[in-house]
Amino acid sequence: MELRQIRYVLAVAEERSFSRAAARLHLAQPSLSQQIAKLEKEWGVPLFHRLGQKVELTDAGERFAQQAQILIDQAEALEREMRAYASGDSGRLLVGSLPITGAYVLPHVIPEFSKQFPHVELQLVEDTSSSLEQMLVRGKLDVSLLTMPIEEPSLEIQPAFQEEIYLALPPDHPLSDRDEIDLAELSQQPFILLKEGQGFRQISLMLCEQAGFTPRIVFESSNIQTVQSLVAAGMGISFAPNMITRAPWTSVKPAYVPLTTKPYRTLVVAYHKDRHLSKPARAFVEVIQQVGEPRE
């Protein structure tokens, strides 16, 4: 069994078609079919049900695909580590980021990093906190910008910076002109929060729990700017980290009021504890720590 044969099986499993998989792999379909048939003969079990134009995994094929993906992930991680050992100052750096947070932080980080490593190809992946954590675990990312708390114990974290969290209110809310607000006063208000899988949602729920109540959530969004727009439209209240309160707005913006407890969120750079951190990756972590919270 060879890695290329494993990749062939996974491609057919994902495409559910030999012809589409062959096109994706830039192979002739007969060649692809022969390679998979050879593997099935070697193991003595069929991996696919061939139903005319339709292809489905057998029970053995399902198990094969699960374990094969693990092998491919490990092989790709090993390949990246060997490239890092071989070159040091060149290669590819896979960086994860929360979409909106990255939009404010990375423009201050990437130019400085590129000065130090002009020949390193930096690839950015934007996703939710939970997805980024799993990509780090599987070796799909080298480092990622995340928000505490971190759920995955296999990740090493380096603090980047902290920023205050504010209450976001509709502009005409009766409490919008307060100097500060005790969150417990708003326990009966409708809340607009980020969806599951977003780190800032966890922080928001924790703040409400510390104030002694469970928020009544009326809207959810995967985009924190959408949350802020709904608040500005009077649909409910929410929270916002400092960098969001300074965002430019083309229309009405929420009223941002400090909370009496002065809560904050901690942004960190995370990477897997047991994976080699290349020289560019270490430098990227250091640059983020040096740049700190964006002030513009």
What is the bridge-based pairing of β-strands 190-194 and 216-221? parallel
- pLDDT bin (cut points 50, 70, 90) of residue 292 is low
122-138 pLDDT, tens per residue? 888 988 888 899 999 98
Q: pLDDT at position 42, please?
A: 85
Enter the pTM of the model. Answer: 0.60
Model confidence pLDDT, tens digit, residues 79-112: 876 766 565 566 788 999 887 777 778 888 888 8
- Check residue 239 and give its pLDDT: 94
pLDDT value, residue 32: 87
- Which of the four pLDDT bands, split at 50, 70 and 90, describes residue 170? very high
| Of 224 and 231, the one with more pLDDT | 231
Q: CA of 134: how far to CAs of 66, 69, 137, 143, in Å?
A: 16, 14, 5, 12
pLDDT tens digits, one per residue of 31-62: 888 888 988 888 888 999 987 778 888 999 88
Nearest alpha-carbon partner for 232 in 199, 284, 198, 192:
192
Give residue limits of the domains in the chain.
3-84, 87-160+266-291, 163-265
Structure token pair of residue 3: 């890695």
Q: What is the per-residue pLDDT for 84?
A: 61
Q: Which residue has the higher pLDDT, 216 or 90?
A: 216
How far is residue 189's CA from residue 167's CA, in Å, rounded to a whole number? 12
By the 8 A CB rule, do 132 and 125 touch?
Answer: yes
Q: What is the CATH number of domain 163-265?
A: 3.40.190.10
Tokens of 74: 């490990």
Q: SS3 letters for the chain?
A: CCHHHHHHHHHHHHHCCHHHHHHHHCCCHHHHHHHHHHHHHHHCCCCEEEECCEEEECHHHHHHHHHHHHHHHHHHHHHHHHHHHHHCCCEEEEEEECHHHHHHHHHHHHHHHHHHCCCEEEEEEECCHHHHHHHHHCCCCCEEEEECCCCCCCEEEEEEEEEEEEEEECCCCCCCCCCCECHHHHCCCEEEEECCCCHHHHHHHHHHHHCCCCCEEEEEECCHHHHHHHHHCCCCEEEEEHHHHCCCCCCCCCEEEEECCCCEEEEEEEEECCCCCCHHHHHHHHHHHHHCCCCC
First-to-last alpha carbon distance for the chain, in angstroms, is 55
Asked if pLDDT for residue 296 goes beyond 60, the answer is: no
pLDDT averaged over every residue in the chain: 86
The first and second tokens of residue 159, run together, are 């603090």
Question: CA angle, corner 62, sides to 58 and 66, nearest 5?
Answer: 165
**pLDDT value for 162:** 86
Q: What's the pLDDT band for 152 if we cut at 50, 70, 90?
A: confident
- What is the per-residue pLDDT across 182-212, written as a single tens digit (0 to 9) for each? 999 999 999 999 988 787 888 899 999 999 9
Name the pLDDT band for 293 (thresholds 50, 70, 90). low
Question: Band of the pLDDT at 253, cuts 50, 70, 90?
Answer: confident
- Among all chains, which residue has been given the structure tokens 């390949």? 79
Q: Assess whether the region 87-160+266-291 and the region 163-265 belong to the same CATH fold.
A: yes
Paired tokens of 278 = 């290349």
Nearest one of 288, 245, 237, 272 to 108, comparing CA atoms: 288
What is the signed CA dihedral for 233, 195, 151, 280, rounded to 10 degrees?
-70
CATH superfamily label, 87-160+266-291? Periplasmic binding protein-like II (3.40.190.10)
Assess whether pLDDT exceeds 60 at residue 29.
yes
What is the rounded CA–CA span in Å between residue 276 and residue 85?
9
* Beta-strand pair 91-97/143-147: parallel
> Is residue 258 very low, low, confident or very high in pLDDT (cuts 50, 70, 90)?
very high
Report how far residue 237's alpha carbon sits from residue 173's, in angstroms, rounded to the nearest whole number.
Answer: 9
Q: What is the pLDDT of residue 102?
A: 79
Cα–Cα distance, 167 to 254 (Å, whole number): 9
Correct CATH for 3-84 of 1.10.10.10, 1.20.1260.10, 1.10.3720.10, 2.60.120.20: 1.10.10.10
What percent of the chain has pLDDT above 90? 29
